[in-house]
Chain A
């Protein structure tokens, strides 16, 4: 795991590469304007290597604001498909209300 914001680390991320051309980015903590910039820089290479699907596991993400949504939309433009996995209701509703369900594919 990589600390993105110290102290205390407000956002942690982990990159998993299953080997089928997809990449899983697991996020926990809070994703807002301050943490999105560092996260984006940290996962650049992993996203560039996606050939099928980018899975963003946000089950343990406690907070996501509009800049988090903007970041995911930005990622979605760089991969064939993006999937926001296990969003909490809060995040899911933001995605749905912004009309982004078909872009970000929350599951």
Chain B
């Protein structure tokens, strides 16, 4: 009876991606997809963050430069104030000293009055008699008289504080700015000058001007309104886009300077940098996403390949093992007075199959041949050589005794081509005669167990099969007592690293003497106790028990 050998293929964990259940594979695909999405999102966020920071920096830098420009414009405007103040101050000093000497006054201020000059009108007023109108006028009639609240109110206020008092704008259609000047020692006279403004207030700055890269609007008020506009470099107000505002004192009034940039003051690079960052960043992100997809695909490919390799290896190993099992006898013969059993144990998982085999065949009416053999090497080659040997022996044993057919086996082609050796043990059993005749081609001796004692049956040992076609073999005959058990085995049962075969055989003999029961139970115990779990080699064992 044959115990089916353990098929280690089933026990072996083979990570097999291709064989994963579908939901698991979908989950894996979703995980990979999530990674790609994460890469894209993180890339986009980082890019957007950098672009925003860069835009903010460019913007605040631009605002800072614009603020500087507006302050420059404001200081340039206030620098023009002495042009107004000086003639008026000199004139008031003159009339204070001369007591309103009109011809002298007219002569002094005439160069400042007229088209293309600073003033359109300069007049003298006597403090305390403001309601009587001006004492003298050079140029056009002063518009101050038509100003809201009347000239008297304005000039009275000017008289109270020495220096320049500015009032604008006068008159809606022909706007003017009025400057009133009273001396530091408050004298009897106040000089009033008026500047005319162009009707449109539009001023074109020369292209080579220091301010050609900005647009400017100046209002003579704290809040920029159209009717308080002094000048503008654009035709349509308010100024478009980003602007900076500076307030500066102008006599008693306040000038509000509003500046906007025609082109980026910090150059175009800071302006474009956020876009450059955005585009480059997005491209890099897309590239990273594509790379991730490729890496994932590559890893999947590698996993699939590894799984395929595992599958192929398992398949190959499975084929070899199936082959091995197919090559071992399916049914053992039944002979009166004998109990027969045999087992084949595969090697450790991950170890290729070996070329061990056993055979039990009936020869004639009452003879039995037990064969145990071991082909050197491993894998398919060892298994095929084993098959050749087994079938050759089955055929030859029908007509010849072992010592006669064993030399011929060395000429088997697969043995020669693969440069293999095979050890073979043949035991011919004559149940009625209670004898066994043992022929060994380099094989380990069988062990005989009887009555709690065990011994090795040491026959003459001939050369292994495959060494020499002219080798000779002799059969050695042993007597067998009733109830004895004979076991043939391969070296997988007794061989261990760092130990001689003698040690292994001694262990076998010790264990064999201790175990009891029927043949199969004995074999199971022996396999378990002698072979040990560490054994990587495969093992064949076949036994005969005399039952009467």
| Chain A residues within CB distance 8 Å of chain B | 33, 62-63, 65-67, 69-71, 73-74, 76, 89-90, 93-94, 97-100, 103
- B442's partner among A62, A67, A71, A100 (CB-CB below 8 A) is A100
Which B residues touch A76, using CB under 8 A?
A: 467
Q: Which chain A residue lies CB-closest to B379?
A: A33
Asked if B420 and A97 sit within 8 Å, CB to CB, the answer is no
Total B residues in contact with A, Cβ cutoff 8 Å: 29
Which A residues touch B421, using CB under 8 A?
A: 66, 69-70, 73, 98
Within 488-516 of B, Cβ neighbours of A (below 8 Å) are at 491, 495, 497-502
- A103's partner among B378, B419, B467 (CB-CB below 8 A) is B467
Most chain B CB inside 10 Å of its own CB: which residue of A33, A90, A99: A99
Asked if B499 and A90 sit within 8 Å, CB to CB, the answer is yes
Which B residues touch A66, using CB under 8 A?
A: 374, 376-377, 421, 423, 491
Which B residues touch A93, using CB under 8 A?
A: 500-502
10 contacts between A and B (CB under 8 A): A66-B421, A67-B376, A69-B464, A70-B376, A70-B420, A73-B421, A73-B466, A76-B467, A99-B442, A99-B463
Given contact pairs A73-B466, A93-B500, A97-B445, enumerate 14 new A-B contacts (beta carbons under 8 Å): A65-B495, A66-B374, A67-B377, A70-B419, A93-B501, A93-B502, A97-B444, A97-B501, A98-B442, A98-B443, A99-B441, A99-B461, A99-B464, A100-B442
B183 contacts A by Cβ under 8 Å: no
B245 contacts A by Cβ under 8 Å: no
Report how far A11 CA is from B440 CA in the complex, Å: 31
Report how far A71 CA is from B466 CA in the complex, Å: 11
Report how far A76 CA is from B495 CA in the complex, Å: 25
Q: Which chain A residue lies CB-closest to B420?
A: A70
| Chain B residues within CB distance 8 Å of chain A | 374, 376-378, 419-421, 423, 440-445, 461-464, 466-468, 491, 495, 497-502
Q: Which chain B residue lies CB-closest to A96?
A: B461
- B377's partner among A33, A73, A100, A103 (CB-CB below 8 A) is A33
Q: Which chain B residue lies CB-closest to A74?
A: B419
Q: Which chain A residue lies CB-closest to B461?
A: A99
Report how far A65 CA is from B420 CA in the complex, Å: 13
Report how far A20 CA is from B289 CA in the complex, Å: 71
Report how far A47 CA is from B329 CA in the complex, Å: 42
Report how far A93 CA is from B494 CA in the complex, Å: 13
Q: Which chain A residue lies CB-closest to B441?
A: A99
Asked if A89 and B440 sit within 8 Å, CB to CB, the answer is no
In the complex, the 3 A-B pairs of residues with the closest C-beta atoms, listed nearest first: A99-B461, A98-B442, A70-B421
Asked if A73 and B501 sit within 8 Å, CB to CB, the answer is no
Report how far A81 CA is from B213 CA in the complex, Å: 105
Which A residues touch B502, using CB under 8 A?
A: 93
Asked if A97 and B442 sit within 8 Å, CB to CB, the answer is yes
Which A residues touch B463, using CB under 8 A?
A: 98-100, 103
Report how far A65 CA is from B352 CA in the complex, Å: 15
Which A residues touch B495, using CB under 8 A?
A: 65
Report how far A100 CA is from B463 CA in the complex, Å: 6
Which A residues touch B378, using CB under 8 A?
A: 33
Asked if B419 and A90 sit within 8 Å, CB to CB, the answer is no
Q: Which chain B residue lies CB-closest to A40?
A: B419
Report how far A65 CA is from B535 CA in the complex, Å: 14
Which B residues touch A103, using CB under 8 A?
A: 463, 467-468
Which A residues touch B466, using CB under 8 A?
A: 70, 73
Report how far A70 CA is from B502 CA in the complex, Å: 20
Which B residues touch A67, using CB under 8 A?
A: 376-377
Which A residues touch B441, using CB under 8 A?
A: 99
Q: Which chain A residue lies CB-closest to B440?
A: A99
Asked if B500 and A73 sit within 8 Å, CB to CB, the answer is no
Asked if A98 and B500 sit within 8 Å, CB to CB, the answer is no
Which B residues touch A98, using CB under 8 A?
A: 421, 423, 442-443, 461, 463-464
B403 to chain A, nearest CB (A): 13
Report how far A90 CA is from B502 CA in the complex, Å: 8
Report how far A67 CA is from B461 CA in the complex, Å: 19
Report how far A11 CA is from B59 CA in the complex, Å: 74
Which B residues touch A100, using CB under 8 A?
A: 442, 463-464, 467
A99 and B462 contact, Cβ closer than 8 Å, known pairs A70-B420, A73-B421, A93-B502:
yes
Asked if A73 and B497 sit within 8 Å, CB to CB, the answer is no
B317 to chain A, nearest CB (A): 15
